[in-house]
Amino acid sequence: MCAERPRPGRLVCCLAVILPGLCAAPVAVAEDFTKRIGAYLDSIDLNDYALALNLYASKSLYTGIDNSSFMYPMFSSFESSTTSENSLFVRDANLGLRKIAANGWSFGGFATVYTDGYGAQSSEALRGMQARGWTVAAGVLLGKKLGPVHADLFAATDLLGRQVGQQYDLKLAYPLTSARFQLVPQLDVIRYSQSYVDYYYGVRPGEATPTRSEYTPGAATVYSAGVHLSWRLSPSWYLRGTVGVDFLPDEIVDSPVVDTDRAWSIGLGVAYDSATFIRLDDTAGGYTMRSLDASVEAFFMRADTVLNLDDNSLPSIGLEDFHNLDERDVVYPVALRWRLGRYHSMGLRYFELYRDGSTDLIEPQTIRGTIFDSGDTLQTDFRTRVAQFDYGFAFFNDPQKELIVFGGLHVTDFKYVVQGSDERIAASTTAVLPLIGARARLNPTSRIAAIVSLEIFALDFDRYNGQLVDLALAGEYRFSEVFACGLGYRYYRQKLQSSDDSFVGELQIDYHGPYISVRAVF
């Protein structure tokens, strides 16, 4: 007996009933996930942390490279992460989120920075070696309290595609605490994958010289001992310090680019520990923000670009004059901000600028070692792409005002190509640099807003030394609950010095001009 074939009308009715349910299920799951994440992040009270300024120094492992030192700000805590119950933690170079169970187990995720490496021109002893860059890694952690001993395993992998591989770090800590100080001795057993050791300490066939043989090491295990100290001076201030020693294995010590069998590090800092941030129980009348904010701009910018390659062959004038690149253009930046709860948000911003030009040479020109004859016509392409990823925390937001402070990564990718009748040169690089910024909004009425945004960095990171100032001032008019338009002025200046193998030199870009924007909130 054959089953009745569904009639078209009945089938349409069935689909009309089933499809909305199928579509609603993922939406409901996404909304529930967003609420859970938002509630979890809102439970993190930044008043549990202190603002610290730290000075860090470490011994260089590499031949001919001086020891390094730098100063940096960070969130800190008087209590060690081994004794605190905070979900957000900073431990050594690891920043993460975790869940601590009642039975002493803990698990979560974290991000870190691998700080080994050197530039292409770091020392005479390393000349001919390709640069080995810093990289960002992320992974998972698993911990357990074993009486007075805290055991934690951190497993991370490279995120930037440098083929660095993995790192596994077993930390054993024995915290000693009192009201005025915390002393945490710690032992580490760190296992580096073969690709990690080969990338940072190997010598490739093309890098070998009569005095520097080819070297391909295997995986390695490093043993480390250290002490972490917090000493409270007053209810609002405390000192923090760290001392550590790494005992290097033969796989690293035998490398032709390494000249030590031990490495040391020391850190000193001062922290201000007070209720700096707004209270989480201050609901400001229950005011909430929409979950997604999307905008697009038309930036009528004027450009001034200077590019100096390593041979200093380019004149000091800007590329707009030398290569006849357009000084004026329109760029269309796009931005998204996803709000997680009342205080937390994630942001993405992107813009791309492509310009070309041509010039007839009156005199011969040498660019990056390539000679272009007089009378030759040079065709030039110059492309800049900028992407920004950030996490923002709203110090306050209510119907009258909002202040978001954010930190993240600023990615600059540029490509410069010059084509003559017979010769062609190209230079390109992608720089990933940390970024901090702030965005303030004032609402005199429910429809009118004034907005100020500032983003900056000024530091030496990986193969790049960079400075950035991105300042925008705007007024905005909201037509409805969803749509708004704005008019403003933006000043963007970035200076980038690179020791990347594909581009050794300096780039400076100045973009400034008015812009209009359209924004939608959902």
Q: What are 73-82's pLDDT values in tens digits?
A: 777 888 888 9
SS3 of residue 389 by DSSP: strand
- At 70, which helix (H) or strand (E)? strand 68-76
Q: Where are the domains of the chain?
A: 48-272, 284-521
Instruction: List, in sequence order, every beta strand (DSSP E) within 208-310.
Output: 220-234, 237-247, 262-272, 292-309
β-pair partners for 138: 111, 157
pLDDT of residue 459: 65
Tell me the Ramachandran region of residue 92: left when phi exceeds 0, alpha when psi lies from -120 to 50, beta otherwise: left
**Helix H segments across 51-148?**
none
**Helix H segments across 202-278?**
250-253
Protein fold of 48-272: Outer membrane phospholipase (ompla); Chain C (2.40.230)
SS3 of residue 142 by DSSP: strand
pLDDT of residue 460: 62
SS3 of residue 9 by DSSP: helix
CB 431 within 8 A of CB 498: yes
- Alpha carbons 447 and 189: distance in angstroms, whole number: 59
User: Taking the CA atoms of the chain, what radius of gyration do you get in angstroms?
Assistant: 27
Whose tokens are 């596994």? That residue is 168
- Alpha carbons 214 and 205: distance in angstroms, whole number: 6
Cα-flanking dihedrals φ and ψ of residue 237, to 5°?
-135, 145
The pTM is what? 0.62
- Alpha carbons 195 and 167: distance in angstroms, whole number: 10
pLDDT of residue 517: 96
CB 286 within 8 A of CB 90: no
Instruction: Give every residue of the chain whose pLDDT is below 70, as ranges.
Output: 1-35, 37-43, 120-122, 162, 276-290, 310-318, 398, 458-463, 500-502
Burial label, 440 (beta-carbon count in 10 A; 0-12, 13-18, 19+): middle
- Alpha carbons 336 and 347: distance in angstroms, whole number: 6
pLDDT of residue 443: 82
The CATH class of the 284-521 domain is mainly beta
- Alpha carbons 319 and 365: distance in angstroms, whole number: 14
What's the pLDDT tens digit per position in 431-447? 888 888 889 888 888 88
pLDDT of residue 159: 82
pLDDT of residue 22: 56
Average confidence score pLDDT of the chain: 83
